[in-house]
Structure 1
Amino acid sequence: MRRQVHDVRDRVTGTGEGAPRQLRRKLGHADLRVVPETRRALRELLRHWGRPGRAEIAELLTSELVTNALVHTGRDAELVATVGPRGLRVEVRDKVAHRPELGVPDADTGTHSTHGRGLILVQSLADAWGVTALGVGRRSGKVVWFELAPEAGGAV
């Protein structure tokens, strides 16, 4: 049995002291194996960043955004994580203009739909988050992003 090898293209920039560092990663559509690999790459980027627990929150929220992009768009995506003195910003860009929706509790059962629950985590744990539309036509798409300060509850 041949082992399939998939291409992971990480690019880390900004190695000077005090300079923002950035991780860029192409994410192949429907390849959920990239989720744990992306968490590991982010963990390495954030090895000496923030108060205890902040990097773990960043990993969780990044997993949610990456998974959403791969599962719900059926297209490639790109992760850009930038960490600097003021905090962390993670962006997941895809080529589908449809905006993600938060899971809304069902009034009859009190449960959430199966879609959008990860975004509730992002909304709850991130210092800021949002969706930014990109272009029109063939260049359309969106960026779903979040920001975390190195300290809990801080402004980025």
Structure 2
Amino acid sequence: MTAGASPADTGDGETGGTREARRLRRELARADLAAVPAARRELRALLRHWDRPDRSDIAELLTSELVTNALVHTDDDAVLTAVVSPRGLRVEVRDFMTRGPLMRTPTPDEDTGGRGLVLVRSLADAWGVRAHAVGKSVWFELGSAAA
């Protein structure tokens, strides 16, 4: 399996193996914010294989937030992994810092920063943080079934 992938990312038996999972893996250089729009473009290409075009904008937004967080709030490279399977979409961004993400509650008078994980929590069907021996992955899922 690639970095950040989990057993749930593979195709399920319901399709008899005829629809396999499609994957995106992109290495993200430390502090390279130009990688954010590039990651969105690559995700958009992957999402052409997803049966939920109505949720593609949400997927792109949440991916942008996770990639931006990893590049702004860590001092190392990161890895973006996205998988489209019959079960839905799973996106993970792995960084190599042990410090966990902080969920902030922004106030109305603050600028637009600090809302990334609030958006992920609000819009994803599931999300979380998984610790690794070195670093962590922040992930979200959007299911194939209508939300």
| TM-score with structure 1 setting the length | 0.77
From 129, 144, 147, give the equivalent of 1:150. 144
The whole-number CA distance in structure 2 between the counterparts of 1:27 and 1:141 is: 15
CA deviations over 1:73-95 (Å, ceiling 9, x no partner): 02100001011001011000000
Which structure 1 segments of 5+ residues have no match?
A: 1-13
- Structure with more helix by fraction: 2
Q: CA deviation at 1:115?
A: 5.6
CA RMSD of aligned residues (A): 2.0
Aligned to 2:129: 131
From 134, 137, 141, give the equivalent of 2:135. 141
Q: CA deviation at 1:105?
A: 4.4
Is the Cα–Cα contact under 8 Å of residues 89 and 148 in structure 1 kept in the other structure?
yes
Which structure 2 segments of 5+ residues have no match?
A: 1-9, 11-16
Is the Cα–Cα contact under 8 Å of residues 29 and 77 in structure 2 kept in the other structure?
yes
Q: CA deviation at 1:70?
A: 0.3
| TM-score with structure 2 setting the length | 0.81
Q: CA deviation at 1:47?
A: 1.0
Q: What is the identity, as a one-letter code, of the residue corresponding to 1:76?
A: D
Aligned to 1:8: none
Q: CA deviation at 1:50?
A: 2.9
The whole-number CA distance in structure 2 between the counterparts of 1:93 and 1:81 is: 11
Is the Cα–Cα contact under 8 Å of residues 47 and 53 in structure 2 kept in the other structure?
no
Distance 1:112 1:129, change over 3 A: farther
Match runs of 1:57-72 below 5 Å: 57-72=58-73
Q: What is the identity, as a one-letter code, of the residue corresponding to 2:131?
A: A
Is the Cα–Cα contact under 8 Å of residues 96 and 136 in structure 2 kept in the other structure?
yes
Q: What is the identity, as a one-letter code, of the residue corresponding to 1:80?
A: T
Match runs of 1:69-108 below 5 Å: 69-105=70-106
Larger-Rg structure: 1
Is the Cα–Cα contact under 8 Å of residues 70 and 93 in structure 2 kept in the other structure?
yes
The whole-number CA distance in structure 2 between the counterparts of 1:100 and 1:114 is: 18
From 107, 117, 122, give the equivalent of 1:119. 117
Distance 1:80 1:93, change over 3 A: same
Identity of aligned residues (%): 61
Q: Larger relative CO (CA 8 A, sep 6+): 1 or 2?
A: 2
Count of matched residue positions in the alignment of Structure 1 and Structure 2: 132
Q: CA deviation at 1:114?
A: 6.6
The whole-number CA distance in structure 2 between the counterparts of 1:51 and 1:90 is: 15
